[in-house]
Structure formats: C-alpha cells, structure tokens
Structure 1
Amino acid sequence: MYTLVLFLSFSTICFSQEDVEKPAPPAGNALVGDFYGSDISGTSVNNAISVEKLDDKLKTTTKVENVVVKGEVTGVCPKRGCWISLKTEDGTSFFVKMKDYAFFVPTALKGKNVVLEGEAEKKVTSVEELKHYAKDAKKTKAEIAAIAKPKEEIRFMAAGIKVID
C-alpha cells in the first residue's frame, strides 16, 4: 500500500506540467558583423532590398521566398528574443520570427540596422495573436485592451539575421 502511494506521488510530481521559466534572451551587444541563425554572405548583404521594395513585391504575390531585406530593428521580444519588429518606410513596423525557433537574438539588437534572410508574406494577424505579442512586449493593460481588430501585415520568417552599419 505504501509503495503504491509513494509511486503515485512520485509519478504525479514527475509528470506535472508546471510553468517552467523560459530562458532570457541571449546576452550580447549586437555589434556590426554579429549574426544570429545562418550567416548572411557579403553578396547577399550588398543585394539586400529595402522594406519598401519587399512591400511592392508582396502586392503582386502572397509570399516571397529566399529574400534578403535590410532595415532598422524597432523592437525585440524581451522575454526570449524570439521575435523582432522592423521599421518600414511609412513608419509602421513588420513582424519577424525566427525559423523553427532555431535561434534567438539579444535585446541589444533594438535600434540596430540588420539584414534578414528568409521568406516574407502578407498575413492577417488575429486579435488574439496581436494581444499575445503585445503582452510579450510588456505593453500596458490599456494598450492590450485597445487591440480590437485583426491586422494585415508583412510577416517574415528569418533563417538568419546579421547586424550591419
């Protein structure tokens, strides 16, 4: 009897799903030349297109693969470094996730110029997902509550991110 109780107690403890603290974003200063994920060649860096040109391409197709885009990072997920936002020419931003969550970036990447390599698409992001990212970004409860409509935006899946001048 005691063995059964001990076994059940041990099993419950071993298999319970507690909130495990997620690791923090990686440390680092995001210096020019640093890269996250796959490195991006010098040729690709030189041939990177602007966010405006990417937006133009996405007006004629829903998805662009193997594209290299340059821009300024306006936000980094403070919890894990698992997403960034990149400034567009009209002052808005678009959302970048890391392909297969294979890498993360330091919060020091905010404000830096980068080149992204991966695929982009126009997507409608649900209110629920927008609120999730706002919560990750530590927005206020009022800012999160104000999110009431889905948003059509560029979504980028990065295989690599490199810091440039």
Structure 2
Amino acid sequence: MKIRIYWIILFLCFSAFCFSQEAVEKPSPPAGDALVGDFYGKDISGLSVDKAISVEKLEHELKDVKKANEVVVKGEVVNVCEKRGCWITIKTESGSSFFVKMKDYAFFVPTALKGKKVVLEGNAERKVTSVDELKHYAKDGKKTKAEIDAIVAPKEEIRFLAEGIKVVN
C-alpha cells in the first residue's frame, strides 16, 4: 500500500513538473543612451559608414528595381517601437516614411535612438504594406485611436531589413 501511494505521489510531482510553464515575458527595448559609436546587430565598419547613401538616393534607385541588397544608408530616426525596439522609422527629405525592421529579430534598439543620426546596413525593397500591418505598427508606436482608425488603405513604401545599425554624428 505504501509503495502504491509513493508511486502516485511521484507520478503527480512528475506530471506537475512536466506540464508547468514558465511565465514568458515579452522583451522590452534595451536600455541605453544610443551614443555616437554604439551599434546594434552587426557592427558597421568605418569604410561602410563613409560610403553610406541618403534615403533619397535609395528611393531614387528603387524606382527602377524592386529590391537592393547590401545597401548602406544614413538618416535620422524619427520613431522607435515602444514595445520592444523591433523597428524604427527614418526621416526623409521628401516627407515619406522609411520603415526599418531588424533582420530575423536578431537585435533590438533602445527608444533613446529616436532623434539620432544612424547608418543602416541591410536590404531594401519597395513593398505594399497591408492596412492590418500598418495598424499594428501604429499601435506599437503608441498612436492614438483616431490615428489608428484613420488608416484605411494599404501603403506602398520602402522597407529596409537591417543587419546592423550604428549611431553616427
């Protein structure tokens, strides 16, 4: 009888251990001040920084082709994902948005990157973004309900998949 109770208790403990789940916390943006010289993801060499092109030049190049690989672009960050730091937007002189995601979500950036000048290395393509995806990013960017509800049409834009981001002067 004692042996049977022992096995029952052992089975219950084993079951509880096997089926228990850890609480998974969503990561928040990394801490940091995003100082000049800081990099996220792959470090971008000084040579690449020197040959970085403007967002406007990239926009011009992507009028003829849909995709550009291994591009180095410079610009100013105007928005950062408040939830995880998993995307940023870059300001362009023409007023259009330039959306940047991190390749394979391999790295995230701090919200302090907002307002900083950066050099990005990665791939760019012209893409149509769906209404649902645009609303998702608006929510992540802490837009108001009215701003989110105002999104009613897909948007053609340049999307950049960054392998590395470096803060520069």
User: Fold conserved (TM > 0.5)?
Assistant: yes
Q: How many residues align?
A: 163
Q: Any gaps of 5 or more consecutive residues in structure 2?
A: none
Show CA shifts across 1:73-94 (max 9, x none): 0000011100000011112221
Match of residue 165 from structure 2: 161
**2:127 matched residue in structure 1:** 123
Query: Counterpart of 1:74 in 2: which secondary structure?
Result: strand
Say which SS state the counterpart of residue 26 (structure 1) adopts. coil
* Structure 1 unaligned regions, length at least 5: none
Identical counterparts, % of pairs: 71
Structure 2 CA distance for aligned equivalents of residues 15 and 108 of structure 1: 34
* Aligned pairs for 1:111-150 within 5 A: 111-150=115-154
- Deviation >2 Å, runs of 4+: 2-7, 9-16
CA RMSD of aligned residues (A): 2.1
Which TM-score applies when normalising by structure 1? 0.90
Q: Which residue of 1 aligns with 2:79?
A: 75
Q: 2: distance between equivalents of 1:100 and 1:35?
A: 17
Aligned residue number for residue 54 of structure 2: 50
Pair member with larger Rg = 2
Query: Which TM-score applies when normalising by structure 2?
Result: 0.88
Distance 2:12 2:144 in 1: 46
Q: 1:52 deviation in Å? A: 0.6
Question: In the alignment, residue 102 of structure 1 is paired with which amino acid?
Answer: A
Name the amino acid aligned to 2:101.
K
1:92 aligns with 2:62: no
Alignment partner of 1:163: what SS? strand
Alignment equivalent of 1:59, drawn from 58, 63, 69: 63
Aligned-partner Cα distance in 2 for 1:146–1:132? 13
Give the C-alpha shift of residue 130 in structure 1: 0.3
1:10 to 10, 13, 16: 16
* Contact map agreement 1:74 1:93 (CA 8 A) in 2: no
Give 1:129 shift: 0.3
Tell me by how many angstroms 1:109 deviates. 0.3
Preserved contact between residue 118 and residue 159 of structure 1 (Cα < 8 Å): yes
